[in-house]
Chains A and B, each alone.
Chain A
Amino acid sequence: MTHQYPALTAEQKKELSDIALRIVAPGKGILAADESVGHMAKRLNQIGVENTEENRRLYRQILFSADSRVKKCIGGVIFFHETMYQKADDGTPFVQMIKDKGIVVGIKVDKGVVPLAGTDGETTTQGLDGLSERCAQYKKDGADFAKWRCVLKISENTPSALAIMENANVLARYASICQQNGIVPIVEPEILPDGDHDLKRCQYVTEKVLAAVYKALSDHHVYLEGTLLKPNMVTPGHSCPTKYSPEEIAMATVTALRRTVPPAVPGVTFLSGGQSEEEASINLNAINTCPLVRPWALTFSYGRALQASALSAWRGQPDNAIAATEEFVKRAEVNGLAALGKYEGSGDDSGAAGQSLYVANHAY
Chain B
Amino acid sequence: MTHQFPALTSEQKKALSDIAQQIVASGKGILAADESVGTMGNRLQRINVENTEENRRAFREILFTSDASINQSIGGVILFHETLYQKDSTGKPFTTLIKEKGIVVGIKLDKGTAPLAGTNGESTIQGLDGLAERCAQYKKDGVDFGKWRAVLKITSTTPSQLAIEENARALARYASICQQHGLVPIVEPEILPDGDHDLQRCQYVTEKVLAAVYKALNDHHVYLEGTLLKPNMVMAGHSCPKKYTPQDVAVATVTTLLRTVPAAVPGICFLSGGQSEEEASVNLNAMNQLPVAKPWKLTFSYGRALQASALAAWVGKSENKKAAQEAFRKRAQINSLACRGQYVTSGKTDAAATQSLFTASYTY
Contact = CB atoms under 8 A, between A and B. Distances in A.
B158 A2 contact: yes
Interface residues of B, number: 41
Given A156-B2, A164-B1, A218-B211, A207 B261 contact: no
Given A1-B208, A211-B214, A215-B211, A262 B1 contact: no
Interface stretch (B80-88, B197-205, B351-359): B197-205
B258 A218 contact: no
A263 B201 contact: no
B306 to A, nearest CB: 28
B89 interface: no
B260 A218 contact: yes
Contacts of A212: 215
Contacts of B219: 211
B208 A262 contact: no
A17 to B, nearest CB: 12
Contacts of B218: 207-208, 211, 259-260
A258 B263 contact: yes
Interface stretch (B28-36, B134-142, B159-167, B242-250): B159-167
Contact of A261 (B215, B224, B262): B262
A215 B204 CA distance: 15
A159 B259 contact: no
Contacts of A1: 159-161, 164, 205, 208
Nearest to B217: A211
A161 B1 contact: yes
Nearest to B165: A1
Interface in B177-211: 200-201, 204-205, 207-208, 211
A117 interface: no
A224 to B, nearest CB: 5
A262 B262 contact: yes
A263 B210 CA distance: 14
B69 interface: no
A264 B263 contact: no
Contacts of A353: none
Given A1-B161, A2-B159, A363-B14, A258 B262 contact: yes
Contacts of B154: 2
Given A205-B1, A361-B14, A3 B255 contact: no
Interface string A272-311: 0000000000000000000001110000000000000000
Contacts of B205: 1-2
B157 interface: yes
B156 interface: yes
B211 A214 contact: yes
A153 B224 CA distance: 25
A200 B4 contact: yes
Given A218-B207, A361-B14, A295 B156 contact: no
Contact of A293 (B1, B10, B263): B263
A255 B263 CA distance: 9
Contacts of A264: 255, 258-259
A9 interface: no
A201 B262 contact: no
B43 interface: no
A132 interface: no
A263 B263 contact: yes
B264 interface: yes
Interface string B1-29: 11110000010011001000000000000
A295 B263 CA distance: 7
B121 interface: no
B264 A258 contact: yes
25 contacts: A2-B158, A2-B160, A4-B201, A155-B2, A160-B1, A161-B1, A200-B4, A201-B4, A204-B4, A208-B1, A211-B218, A214-B211, A214-B214, A214-B215, A219-B211, A255-B264, A257-B263, A258-B264, A259-B224, A263-B258, A263-B263, A263-B294, A264-B255, A363-B13, A363-B17
Given A1-B160, A218-B207, A263-B294, 15 more contacts: A2-B155, A2-B156, A3-B156, A4-B201, A201-B3, A211-B218, A258-B263, A259-B264, A262-B258, A262-B262, A263-B261, A263-B262, A264-B255, A264-B258, A363-B14
Interface of A: 1-4, 154-161, 164, 200-201, 204-205, 207-208, 211-212, 214-215, 218-219, 224-225, 255, 257-264, 293-295, 361, 363
- Which 6 interchain pairs have the tightest Cβ spacing? A218-B211, A211-B218, A204-B4, A4-B204, A215-B215, A264-B258
